[in-house]
Amino acid sequence: MSRTADPARARASPRRPATLVAALAAALALAACRTDDPADPLISRERPVEQIYNEAVDEREAGNYGRASALFQEVERQHPYSPWATTAKLMAAHAEYTRGRYTEAIGMLDRFIRLHPAHRDIPYAYYLRAMCYYEQIADVQRDQRMTQQALSALQDVVNRFPDTAYARDARLKIDLARDHLAGKEMVIGRYYQQRRLFAAALNRFRTVVDQYDTTNHVPEALHRLVEVYLALGLTEEARKTAAVLGHNYPGSSWYQDSYALLTPGAQPSEGERPGLLTRLWNSVF
């Protein structure tokens, strides 16, 4: 590396600002040689596979995930037929996942799954791929295509590796993803209801009750159905829906709200809460 000025001379001549600027430039150039940039040419120099891999592990443990990923990929580039290369692919994907570069990690994992379907770590590869989608789930106010992809990828883990710890965690995250999708349906349903688009709102709330019946959004969805049915003049449908709500969620505030709509001025007592309306339960079915 060439120097544009002698730092010692700059320090000896403080009255020469141009020389001082040149000295600072030289210092910055020296700092650039020690950069943590993953594209650092020092990473790509030819070395034994063990040395590269161990350096990658060290960078990973130090939290330098960009350099770790570059070094793990260098293992495969320089030593593609080494036993280290296969594991390095997975480690590089994990480094990209950890630094939030999910698209890059998914690409690496897809390639790993395609090339090594019988590898001992294939369950983890599927799980990490699912997590890349799961970490990108957006707020319920936004598009939920990523949630659908996460749900599909998580279910794939459960279906392929049902007896693993990865499947157990995937099942928990599936429940959370389903709850998220139900929340999105509720947001849209409430939007339609506020604008008196009752048929559209009805469809959204019914979707929550029918397709996401294990989520926390069902009590509200049933109450919103009561409100919509009453707005449409369908009193009997409203009473039947309230009966379902009271039978399944007798202590819910949503049931109390539905009760108040159907019996203005009254409040269910503790004895009635399991339900005044639940006697209609058998008529529903």
pLDDT score, position 207? 96
Average pLDDT, consecutive stretches of 10 residues, N- to C-terminus, the chain (285 residues): 35 33 36 46 77 92 93 91 92 96 96 95 97 88 85 97 96 94 94 96 96 94 96 94 92 90 64 40 37
pLDDT for the residue 160: 97
Which amino acid is located at 7 in the chain? P
Distance, CA of 189 to CA of 201 (rounded, Å) = 4
* Distance, first Cα to last Cα, the chain: 83
pLDDT for residue 265? 55
Q: Are 233 and 200 in contact (CB under 8 A)?
A: no
Residue with tokens 């039947």: 240
Full set of structural domains in the chain with CATH: 1-34 (no CATH), 44-180 (1.25.40.10), 186-284 (1.25.40.10)
pLDDT at 41: 62
pLDDT value, residue 270: 46
C-alpha 156, offset from chain centre: 16
- pLDDT score at 35: 40
CB crowding 201-227: b at 16 or more within 10 Å, else e: bbebbbbbbeebeebebbbbbbbbbbb
